[in-house]
């Protein structure tokens, strides 16, 4: 069997090690060297080009069904939970906490919940829906297990590495949000990011009100492709007298987008995190679909006011 192996950036250092193990089982192995941003970004085209019988994707759980033989191997990371003790003082005034983590620590979630319960906390773990498959699991683009319990808890606790995943959950919830980072030992509330990202969003909307030409980004990645949404947005933009073009790429190069000088703003239909995390990498406003809707709403109101004034003055 010919197998294509695919690793996220943090696991690419183990690629040859795994390849040799699988070769020893009598398989022919090819390794994908392309970047991957998750199970929404499977190397299906590469697998077909090299005539692989199967794609083995490491580090993530299944995102959605694809018409290819894919084996998912989530990468479990067992870490010392003693850091949880250091989070208790910061949670002293909260009775009920919502708990979440990523697929790498799902096997430790029950132990984390039990720790907090044994220290007098009521723990709520959200049910999975959307692309997440397990209770309490969040993805960069799917934070339903957090937003779904926002009204039930006094505060949230995210256990895991980095800010990428908890930022997505933070922006869709309203309660105090504590990050417990077992790798660096850092424990901090990240609530201040809510206001920061709200200001950024407002700034992008205001900067786009006078836009005349809009570029709508469509990714060809298997879990991000949304041409239907792009077509709808294009019609909405053009209905207000602006021009719109659909821009297609597998991975968007922001330097290339910056060279597309005729566009006044861009709208993202690919990974929803692009319009949150990558706005500083592009000179023109990069809007989410919701932010575009706000732009169009304000423009419509402004147009109505202008028309009303014109009628009043002419009468």
Confidence at 315, pLDDT banded by 50, 70, 90: low
pLDDT in tens, 145-194: 999 999 999 999 999 998 889 999 999 999 999 999 999 999 999 999 99
**Is residue 130 predicted with pLDDT exceeding 80?**
no
Alpha-carbon span 66 to 62, nearest angstrom: 10
Confidence band of 274 (pLDDT split at 50, 70, 90): confident
Check whether 12 has a pLDDT greater than 80.
yes
Angle between helices 289-314 and 227-238 (to 10 degrees): 10
Domains, the chain: 2-73 (3.40.50.11840), 81-190 (3.40.50.11850), 203-301 (3.40.50.11860)
The answer on pLDDT for 197 being more than 80 is yes
Report which of residues 98 and 272 the model is more confident about: 98
Residue 132 has pLDDT above 90, yes or no: no
Alpha helices by DSSP H, 208-288: 227-238, 254-258, 274-277
pLDDT of residue 205: 97
Residue pair 282/266 in contact by the 8 Å Cβ criterion: yes
The C-alpha atoms of residue 251 and residue 184 are separated, in whole angstroms, by: 30
d(CA 246, CA 254): 16
Pairing state of beta strands 54-58 and 70-73? parallel
Q: Say which DSSP state 172 is in.
A: T
* pLDDT attached to residue 60: 87
Tell me: pLDDT of 308 over 80. Answer: no
Report the mean per-residue pLDDT for the chain. 93
The two structure tokens encoding residue 56: 């083995």
29-82 residue pLDDT tens: 999 999 998 889 999 999 999 999 999 999 888 888 899 999 999 888 999 999
Confidence (pLDDT) at 23: 96
pLDDT of amino acid 116: 98
224: Cβ contacts below 8 Å, ≥ 6 apart: 40, 41, 270, 271
Query: Does 246 score more than 90 pLDDT?
Result: yes
């Amino acid at each position: 069997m010919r197998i294509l192996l695919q690793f996220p950036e943090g696991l690419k250092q183990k690629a040859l090690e795994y390849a040799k193990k699988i070769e020893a089982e009598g398989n022919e192995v090819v390794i994908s060297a392309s970047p991957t941003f998750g199970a929404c970004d499977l190397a299906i085209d590469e697998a077909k080009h090299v005539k692989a019988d199967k794609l083995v994707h490491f580090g993530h759980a299944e995102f959605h069904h694809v018409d290819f033989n894919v084996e998912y191997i989530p990468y479990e990371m067992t870490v010392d939970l003693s850091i949880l003790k250091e989070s208790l003082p910061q949670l002293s005034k909260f009775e009920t906490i919502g708990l979440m983590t990523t697929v790498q620590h799902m096997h430790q979630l029950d132990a984390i919940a039990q720790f907090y319960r044994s220290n007098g906390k009521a723990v709520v773990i959200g049910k999975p829906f959307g692309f997440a498959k397990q209770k309490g699991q969040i993805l960069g683009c799917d934070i339903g297990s957090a937003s779904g319990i926002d009204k039930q808890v006094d505060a949230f606790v995210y256990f895991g590495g980095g800010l990428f995943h908890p930022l997505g959950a933070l922006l869709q919830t309203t309660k105090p949000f504590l990050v417990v980072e077992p790798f660096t030992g850092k424990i901090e509330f990240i609530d201040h990011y809510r206001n920061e990202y709200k200001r950024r969003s407002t700034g992008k909307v205001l900067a786009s009100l006078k836009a005349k030409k809009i570029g709508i980004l469509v990714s060809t990645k298997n879990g991000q492709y949304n041409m239907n949404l792009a077509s709808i947005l294009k019609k909405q933009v053009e209905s207000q007298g602006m021009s719109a073009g659909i821009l297609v790429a597998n991975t968007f190069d922001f330097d290339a987008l910056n060279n597309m000088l005729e566009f006044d703003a861009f709208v993202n239909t690919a990974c929803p995190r692009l319009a949150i995390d990558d706005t500083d990498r592009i000179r023109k406003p990069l809007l989410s679909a919701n932010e575009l809707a706000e732009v169009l709403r304000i423009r419509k109101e402004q147009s109505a006011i202008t028309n009303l004034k014109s009628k009043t003055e002419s009468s």
